[in-house]
Amino acid sequence: MNSIQSAPHELRIGEGPELHLGISTCPNDTFAFSRLLDAAVSPGESLFDTGGFTWRIELLDIDELNQRLLAGEFDLAKTSFHAALLMADETQVLPVGSALGFGVGPLLLSAQNDAKPQTKDQITLCPGEHTTAHLLFRLFYPDSTSVRQVVFSEIMPALQRSEADFGVCIHEGRFTYAESGLHLAADLGNLWENATQRPLPLGGLVMRDRHAPATMGAACEVIRRSLQSARLDPDSALPAMRRYAQEMDDSVLMQHVDLYVNDWTVDLGSVGQEALTTLSEMAQEVGLGSAKLRFFCGETSL
């Protein structure tokens, strides 16, 4: 297999028709794709089957992934489900690779203890306009209109510098915010669970429906094999995770995997689809999406 590292966060692996894949640098993504990433970095040491495709892989911040996917890039990509709602007429949600569950929601943080959003002029930082984190904040705090979008890794430092009143925290920061002297104002995931009684759908893989069902199915099989192999031997995925992680402590990385990688990541299933339908309906009620998500299920879409 041929491997070319054309940029610090871009890799190529395999032979055959090219699939341009975008994933985030989040540990649950690098864990799930670790076998593919390791094969691209060290092709001579890997026997991983790339399914007859050349995989062009880019690892990016989730907001940049959303923006580029909306701009028409990528054949398939990890995206926030908020962004997926805006692309539902041209993509299908794949059954593998999703992040959803109970107790996994974004956290609303503040530098002040016991602070709550109360006035419109209080500034809240969010990790991207089309992230599910921003959608949840809009759903549960509709009167908080002073929202600024920044890269997720800048949110906690900005709160520490008192540059904003609140910040919606995602990724590894949920495990380390207390060490940074920050306080929990609200758990947006808990608010979702109390309102819906469903697992919270954060993000998942979507693929452009210009691809044939056979291509979609073959891509799903490669991704699922990588994911299941990593689940059987989690420690073997750590090198791939460390290469791109914001937090380098292995225990934090594995906490992240334990929280966001589960049976729904292997197969979204009917429970996951129902949760996404609920998210879509709630988003429509506040004008944040109108199209119905479609789910790839083998030779058909639902």
Q: Where are the domains of the chain?
A: 3-101+200-301, 107-196
Average pLDDT over residues 186-215: 96
Provide φ and ψ at 212, rounded to 5°. -65, 150
| Residue 5 pLDDT greater than 50, yes or no | no
Output the pLDDT for position 247: 63
Given the structure tokens 């041929």, which residue do they identify?
2
Structure tokens that stand for 263 in this block: 């049976």
Query: Are residues 234 and 226 in contact, defined by beta-carbon separation less than 8 angstroms?
Result: no
How far lies 209's CA from each of 95, 151, 273, 301, in Å?
14, 29, 18, 10
Annotated binding site for substrate: 132-133
Say which amino acid occupies 272.
G
Output the pLDDT for position 285: 84
Active-site choice (82, 134, 171, 256): 171
Q: Judging by DSSP bridges, how do beta strands 200-208 and 147-149 pair with one another?
A: unpaired
Q: What three-state secondary structure class fits 22?
A: strand
Alpha-helical regions (H) of the chain: 27-32, 34-41, 62-70, 81-86, 132-140, 155-160, 173-176, 188-196, 213-232, 238-244, 250-260, 263-266, 269-285
Output the pLDDT for position 44: 75
CATH architecture of 3-101+200-301: 3-Layer(aba) Sandwich (3.40)
| Residue 2 pLDDT greater than 50, yes or no | no
| Residue 198 pLDDT greater than 90, yes or no | yes
Q: Say whether 107-196 and 3-101+200-301 share the same fold.
A: yes
Query: Are residues 264 and 227 in contact, defined by beta-carbon separation less than 8 angstroms?
Result: no
Predicted confidence (pLDDT) per residue in 40-66, tens digit: 988 877 789 999 999 999 999 888 999
CATH topology of domain 107-196: D-Maltodextrin-Binding Protein; domain 2 (3.40.190)
Output the pLDDT for position 176: 84
Say whether 82 is catalytic. no
pLDDT confidence bin for 299, thresholds 50/70/90: low
Output the pLDDT for position 39: 93
Output the pLDDT for position 284: 87
